[in-house]
Structure 1
Amino acid sequence: MFTKVLVAEDYEIANQGIVKVLNDEVGILDIKEAKYCDDAYIKFRKAHQSEDPFELLITDLSFKEDHKVQTRTSGIELIQDIRKIDPTINVIVYSQESRPDKINMLFQKLDINGYVCKGQHAIKDLVNCIQGVYKGDIVLPSEVTDANTDNIINLDDFDIMLLEELALGFTKKEIVQKLKKQKISPNSESTIDKRVSKLFDDFKAKNTTHLVAIVKDLGLL
């Protein structure tokens, strides 16, 4: 079982609950807590530099504002920055977010190992998730496994690239020119138009601004 865990959670009661579960139900004793993402990042970096790294990160997605200016304000940013230091660390997201699309996107974009929705069965789900991740499994919550797969959007790297370019304000024609210049294919106007149109349909977006807003809300950008 994991022996050293970092918990990033800004609500004290939830934080204490996670620690108690790790202690009593899973048998993990070496646990460090952080109420803010920057604090969690600093603790992780220090442990890594001292060659006594954390094996598992359990983090919420949203954090309340602090009186201090925070470099990282979300669990997504925390995961991304920690993974830059240690790409192999196991990550479990523990959040109230229950939308299948957003949860699925976190697995796709951040390559997280497990997800637990806060709720009635959260303690049992968290224990099962930790045990599954330790075994090397990817642990999806019931919110995803029980969802209609036809309604879950799956994006590939090319879709993500298009969304990033649109978010930067480039038009479809400008994206085509950029792809051709960089010799990235497919790069035909018809292909880009079809892919962008599909993104509009998938996310039910009215225009590019709306599409970018939706995608950012889902944590893709």
Structure 2
Amino acid sequence: MFTKVLVAEDMDHISGGVERMLKEMGVREVAFAQYCDDALLLLRKAQMEGSPFPLLITDLSFKPSHRDEKLKDGAELALAAKAGDAHLRCIIYSMEDRPGTVKQLVERTQAEGYVCKDRNGLRDLQEAVHRVHNGQPYFSPQIESVQNPLSLTALDICILKLLADGKNQGDISIHIQKNKLGGHSRSYIEKRIQNMREVLGAKSTLQMVLFARDLRII
């Protein structure tokens, strides 16, 4: 089991529950930070002292304060932390539970685990810590069970959002090319749309968009 864990969380009642859970799992040292900048400083300090944190558990959203913070959220913290320590593992613990958004966050941060804060959050977090310690990724059941959204790429989700906004394939092609998001030819976009229809089991593009909304991908 991990010997020490850093938890970035600005709600005391949540921090208390996470601490009790980690202590019961045998984690000897649990440190806390209510600000992302403070969390990064603690990670760097521990690394300089030759005793780095092997695991970071972070929320995504932190309430704004009077402080001028460089890191605005948990995603930025995870990115900065991993950039400074290639061995650091990260579990995101958040209220965000839209599969499409979660997929993008995990792709962006390269987090090893993602746990949704709900009535089973601590139980799932405990399982996530076990899995990540053993070198396995972990997603909360309500995320992992939605298999179709998790097989879509970030570009697929972008296309879905543009379709939902009423854009045609020409508009989508221009948007993708302008923002350098990937393949932008109309034939490639048509291929991605066809693939998404098959993945989501939709008979039409409109039905595909409606399914994506129902599944909270967009």
TM range (shorter): 0.7 to 0.9
Shift of 1:176: 5.2
Cα gap change, 1:62 to 1:186, in 2 (>3 Å): closer
Q: Partner of 1:9 in structure 2?
A: 9
Instruction: Report the TM-score, using the length of structure 1 for normalisation.
Output: 0.72
Structure 1 position 84, deviation (Å): 0.8
RMSD across aligned C-alpha pairs, in angstroms?
A: 3.4
The Cα of 1:194 is off from its aligned counterpart by 4.6
Q: How far 1:107 moved relative to its partner? A: 2.6
Aligned residues: 191
Q: Which amino acid aligns with 1:109?
A: R
Q: Partners in 2 of 1:178 and 1:27 — Cα distance? A: 47
Counterpart residue number, 2:77: 78
**1:125 & 1:137 partners in 2: Cα distance?**
14
**1:146 is matched with which residue?**
145
The amino acid across from 1:22 in the alignment is L
Counterpart of 1:19 in structure 2 is: 19
The structure-2 alpha-carbon separation of the partners of 1:21 and 1:178, relative to structure 1 and needing over 3 Å to count, comes to closer
The Cα offsets for residues 147-167 of structure 1, whole Å up to 9 and x where unpaired, read as 2x33446216xx39x99xxxx
SS at match of 1:6: strand
CA contact (8 A) 1:132 1:139 kept: yes
The AA in structure 2 aligned to 1:115 is Y
Residues 83 and 178 (structure 1), Cα distance of their counterparts in 2 relative to 1, 3 Å cut: closer
Q: Distance between the aligned counterparts of 1:126 and 1:27, measured in 2?
A: 14
Deviation at 1:146, TM superposition (A): 2.1
Query: Structure 1: how far apart are the matches of 2:84 and 2:67?
Result: 24
**Are 2:43 and 1:44 equivalent residues in the alignment?**
yes
SS state of the match for residue 119, structure 2? Answer: coil
In the TM superposition, what whole-angstrom CA distance separates every residue of 1:52-78 from its partner, at most 9, and x where no partner exists?
A: 110000000100011111111110000
**For residue 133 of structure 2, what is the aligned residue in structure 1?**
134
Gapped regions of structure 2 (runs ≥ 5): 160-171, 197-204, 210-216
CA gap of 1:191–1:127, structure 2 versus 1, over 3 A, is: same
Q: Distance in 2 between matches of 1:119 and 1:175?
A: 36
Deviations 1:139-193 (A, max 9, x none): 111112222x33446216xx39x99xxxxxxx955975998xxxxx967x44566
Q: Distance in 1 between matches of 2:34 and 2:43?
A: 13
The more displaced of 99-108 and 190-199 is 190-199
Distance 1:79 1:69 in 2: 19
Rounded to whole Å, the distance in 1 between the matches of 2:31 and 2:78 is 16
Aligned partner of 2:16: which letter? Q
CA contact (8 A) 1:172 1:192 kept: no
Q: Residues 134 and 178 of structure 1: is their aligned pair in 2 closer, same or farther, counting only changes over 3 Å?
A: closer
So what's the TM-score if we normalise by structure 2?
Answer: 0.73
Whether the 8 Å contact between 1:101 and 1:153 is mirrored in structure 2 is no
| C-alpha contact (below 8 Å) 2:173/2:186 kept by paired residues | no
- 2:56 partner SS: strand
